[in-house]
A and B are shown apart, each in its own frame.
Chain A
Amino acid sequence: MTINTMAKGGWQREQMICFRMMEKMIVAMQDPDMGMKLRNQRLLITVIPHAMTGHDIIIWLIHKYSVCEEEALHLGGMLVKYGYIYPLKEPRSLVLQPDESPYRFQTPYFWTSTRWPASELDYAIYLAKKNIRKQGELMEYEKERYSLLHKKINHTWDFVVMQAREQLRASKQRRKADRIVLECQEQAYWLINRPPPGVHNMLDVGLERQNNFNLRATLNSDFYKNEIEVYRRALGRNRVKSSICLEGVPVPTRLRVERWSFSFMELLNDAMGRQEFMLYLEKEFSAENLYFWQACEEIRHGESSKIVEKVEEVYKNFLAPGAARWVNIDSKTMDKTLEGIKQPHRFVLDDAQMHIYFLMKKDSYPRYLKSDLYKNMLAKAIVPQETKKSVFPFMRRQRHSSPSPAQAVAQVTEEEGRHKGAG
């Protein structure tokens, strides 16, 4: 089975997103207002314009992304490794030095993403140019590749040499500074797209993932029918409000759980306490009391425009004869309430709510505090492990190996066998 790690489809999906993000960063770095301050850089006797030092890059990254120096060095280093910034001094080493070493932004023409995939023909021309320009300029590995290419695309070799000569002639007519810059840019591009042996291939994405998205065979009517089924079921799901779910996410501190035992009001005021109490009431089949109390709270503290609607809901769910969550209020209060809701207002359910509140406080609340549910909550409430100081097994280097689980099992089986044999 062949693994085509450079196939266009696969590469585009996996690399494109991180290349786009790097390019966004590079563009921000070159912003005329907020970007880096560029200046002329002296390289031996030539002055190269629009350059910056490694130190400048790091400082800019520290300020822009509020990161520490180590992170800025690492991030800048990635930009250099991927060829978005190249070094002028020691151009073969795509490394970010945190000092006065000069760097330049790569021209978008030579971004790997622009000219993907790098072509064999272009590489041949590049190597030919190097060879012609200065004998012995090709590195050992480049010489090998050059002769391999010569064999492989022998039929177009005249074209390669012609192109190389033409490009060299054109470059001779440029100013020395421009010529140096162009050579550096091109070299950086090839260092990434045809890395020297032993150097990371930055473009290695590993195993290609097939993109089945537009495969007709996969996205057939069965697939959509299945999706529709999933969405329908999902729409019918009981969802819980974020404020309730997310309160449950942190493990509460001991003090917090203890406060629930100070007073019933403390318990009800803490969303997590209330949720736990609800769980307890559900086990006792008296959860309707808390639901009712909550619904009354919503009316008391909610929007005026919704009062009538909400009171209607409360009647339907909690007070009407045969209601799903009928609450047990004494007949005097019930009569008064039923009369009152004919003219609904914010406080019309106060009496009923108070009755249920005291019912829970006198009856369910003390029992909850004695329950296993509460006791377990109290026991579970600990200081998070992250802040505990303890001795970890990996602190010391262990000399002795421990019996592997497989050995332990084998021993037991062996002993059992012996007993059986003996018996």
Chain B
Amino acid sequence: MRSPLSPEMATQEVPLNETLAHLKTESETLKLKLEEERAKLHDVELHQVAEKVEGLGQFVMKTRRTLKGHGNKVLCMDWCKDKRRIVSSSQDGKVIVWDAFTTNKEHAVTMPCTWVMACAYAPSGCAVACGGLDNKCSVYPLSLDKNENLAAKKKSVAMHTNYLSACSFTNSDMQILTSSGDGTCALWDVESGQLLQSFHGHAADVLCLDLAPSETGNTFVSGGCDKKANVWDMRSGQCIQSFETHESDINSVRYYPSGDAFASGSDDATCRLYDLRADREVAIYSKESIIFGVSSVDFSLSGRLLFGGYNDYTINVWDVLKGTRVSILFGHENRVSTLRVSPDGTAFCTGSWDHTLRVWILMC
């Protein structure tokens, strides 16, 4: 005769908080095991491998354009694929499209909310997406008629339950990826506003994201206040890799040009490089004299240089392979909040709490 206490019934008897404690312990044990496994294959440091690589030598970077026009902290910027237009957003709700060559403002929109922390240029160059404290991501088609009110054609695409921290179009104007203070990322169809996929796994605000270069497939990386950088499969919604080595919030993540690695910048004043095939952190970019958080990172076109914008108003430039800091740039008068290298790698742009954007180039 079958025992009255079948296995299903037995679990019901166990109090709920005990199960939670068990799950937590199991999770932590697995995490430690994962670290052990990762360490086993780490047989050489990146800077050791880089010893045979030629040094970079001296070079100078200077501000070539200063874009003035925002009335408050600049929070985010993005380049257009045409390599000269830029969209930027600020704390006072303004989103501006600039021609960085001439420094002219081509379009300006006032969002119905303040703290527009995210903005992105569409691949076609015909629209921009932005959002922030409104918890939404909206798309504005860029009108040619200067008199037309851009806000009239605004399309509301994403809806989160907390602030929008970052957004990015995928390969086309048709889909947008977003990250939010509500701890999730999401993929949306622009035309219908439909949620295509959501990504759960962060334990706190997600602050940044970056799409893998198109050749490497449908993945993206996100970073958050839980100190984790997660790599996601866009089709399944699953987290395929997770890295937790930073000591504080991760403010920025960016893929290495080949797509085999990505860099991160954090409030712990370090930038780090994670290799996806080795499945571990492979380099830390830090210096005793650098004690303020990194707000934003991006690679040079070849991936040899990593640019970091910092909360102490400076930009530090790192030799990705050798791990050394090759240059420090001064100029902004408040935090650097955003930094992107131009699509052809000839310049990079920074946005700052000092209300300005600067375009920098290499002089050598």
* A interface residues with partner B (beta carbon < 8 Å): 1, 3, 13-14, 17-18, 21-22, 25, 61, 65, 67, 70-71, 74-75, 78, 200, 206-207, 209-213, 218-221, 223-228, 230-235, 237, 239-251, 384-387, 389-390, 392-395, 397-402, 404-410
Contact = CB atoms under 8 A, between A and B. Distances in A.
A228 B27 CA distance: 5
Given A241-B43, A392-B347, A207 B144 contact: no
A75 B292 CA distance: 10
A409 B126 contact: yes
B291 interface: yes
16 contacts: A65-B287, A74-B330, A210-B205, A218-B183, A220-B20, A224-B27, A227-B201, A228-B26, A231-B34, A233-B240, A246-B44, A387-B364, A394-B346, A394-B361, A405-B82, A410-B144
B142 A404 contact: yes
A348 B80 CA distance: 62
A20 to B, nearest CB: 9
Contact of A250 (B53, B64, B280): B53
Which secondary structure dominates where chain B touches chain A?
A: loop
B260 interface: yes
Contacts of A200: 334
Contacts of B269: 17-18, 21
Contacts of B247: 17
B201 A230 contact: yes
B31 interface: yes
A404 B247 CA distance: 43
Interface of B: 16, 19-20, 23-24, 26-27, 30-31, 33-34, 37-38, 41-46, 49-50, 53, 56-57, 59, 64-65, 73, 80-85, 99-102, 104, 106, 114-115, 117, 124-126, 133, 141-144, 162-163, 181, 183, 200-201, 203-205, 207, 225-226, 238-242, 247-249, 256, 258, 260-261, 267-269, 275, 277-280, 282, 287-289, 291-293, 300-305, 311-314, 320-321, 328, 330, 334, 345-347, 353, 359, 361-362, 364
Contacts of A237: 241, 279
A406 B142 contact: yes
A239 B276 CA distance: 9
A397 B239 CA distance: 46
B30 A242 contact: no
Contacts of A224: 20, 23-24, 26-27
Contact of B291 (A14, A25, A207, A249): A25
Contact of B162 (A61, A210, A230, A242): A210
State the 5 A-B residue pairs at the shortest beta-carbon distance, nearest first.
A405-B125, A21-B291, A65-B289, A231-B30, A398-B101
B19 A234 contact: no
B277 A394 contact: no
Given A249-B258, A250-B53, 8 more contacts: A75-B312, A210-B162, A230-B239, A231-B27, A233-B238, A394-B65, A395-B361, A404-B106
